[in-house]
Amino acid sequence: MPPRRDAQPQTNKEIAALVTQQMAAVLPNIVTQVHQISNNNNNNNAQCNFKTFNSAKPLKFSGSEGATALLQWFKSIESTFRHVQCPNECKVDFTSSFFQRRALTWWNGIMRDRGADVAMELTWEEFKDLMKKEFGPRSEIRALENEFYYLK
């Protein structure tokens, strides 16, 4: 049943009091919802740790596979990054733990020469460039790029 016309507030003061009362009732719920959404977003960003990354079973890299395998390995690792929502600051650290044989020896040398802290702060792109220089002969990578470029 609609309210009667004579029951509605008549003055601006009464209207302001009614709005204030309604806002006081609604605002705590809105604040709670915003906090819940914020906490969920923070938890989603914090999900990627080494255990999560490792559970995706990224491929190991030994350094003897050649340029084609190196590029395929990059794609595989980057797919894993997306899958587990790996933050940029963890990519080099997590990835380097999957090195074996020659690649592990090379990475240990980089960490010794630059210092572990400096090496771990490399961006993913800088890290990939170093790996391409070491494990992907430029001539082989250029041949692959040309093959792709002239693909019909």
Digits of tens for pLDDT over the chain (152 positions)?
565 555 555 788 888 788 788 777 777 777 777 767 765 555 444 578 888 888 788 889 888 877 788 888 889 899 888 888 888 888 988 888 889 999 999 999 988 988 888 888 889 899 888 888 888 777 776 777 777 777 75
The overall longest dimension of the chain from CA atoms, in Å, is: 89
Question: For the chain, where are the alpha helices, taking DSSP H only?
Answer: 12-45, 50-55, 67-84, 91-96, 101-114, 116-120, 124-135, 138-149
Alpha carbons 62 and 35: distance in angstroms, whole number: 46
User: Which two tokens mark 118?
Assistant: 């400096």
| Token digits of residue 87 | 């933050």
